[in-house]
Amino acid sequence: MIRTASTLLENLKTLAYLLPQLGRALVTRPETVRFPFAPPVIPKGYRGRVEIHPEKCHGCGLCVRDCPAFALELQREELNTFKLIYYPERCAYCGQCEVSCTFGAIYQTNEFVHGTDDLAQLVVTLVDRKPA
């Protein structure tokens, strides 16, 4: 009898603790979002698509050397003739290239990159330098 009473008391305590939240849940909006989604809010510093200021690139290859995912390739013919090729599907979007670049040429935008099977988007020539 005493045990039943104490259990009942415990249950009432639990209920008293949970009731205010239940009341709040009834009046607040659901946390879930409707599909189709509204455009996502992407933070300013989000690490997205890799881009370059081609005129600033000296073809030193530091970004290629430090890239942990081997997503960059430097094809050099002569001192002033080189190509910097970027493979977005290999990229880990870590931003190491941006950190390593001493000329401030390569950088990351906050643009989200979707997967693709379009060959033109799978191999991107970032810099195609030819002697003037």
Q: How far is the CB of 127 from other proteins (least distance, A)?
A: 22
Task: For residue 44, give both structure tokens.
Answer: 């300013």
* Alpha-carbon dihedral 14, 17, 22, 25, rounded to 10 degrees: -140
CB neighbour class for 72 (10 Å; exposed up to 12, middle 13-18, buried from 19) = buried
107 interacts with other proteins by CB under 8 A? no
Residue number with CB closer to other proteins (30 or 115): 30
Beta-carbon contacts of 1 under 8 Å, excluding residues fewer than 6 positions away, are: none
Q: How far is the CB of 93 from other proteins (least distance, A)?
A: 7
Question: Residues in contact with other proteins, total (CB under 8 A)?
Answer: 26
94 interacts with other proteins by CB under 8 A? yes
Q: How far is the CB of 119 from other proteins (least distance, A)?
A: 27
Q: Which amino acid is at 90?
A: R
Contacts with other proteins by CB under 8 A lie at 10-11, 13-14, 17-18, 21, 31, 43, 45-47, 65-69, 92-96, 99-100, 108, 110
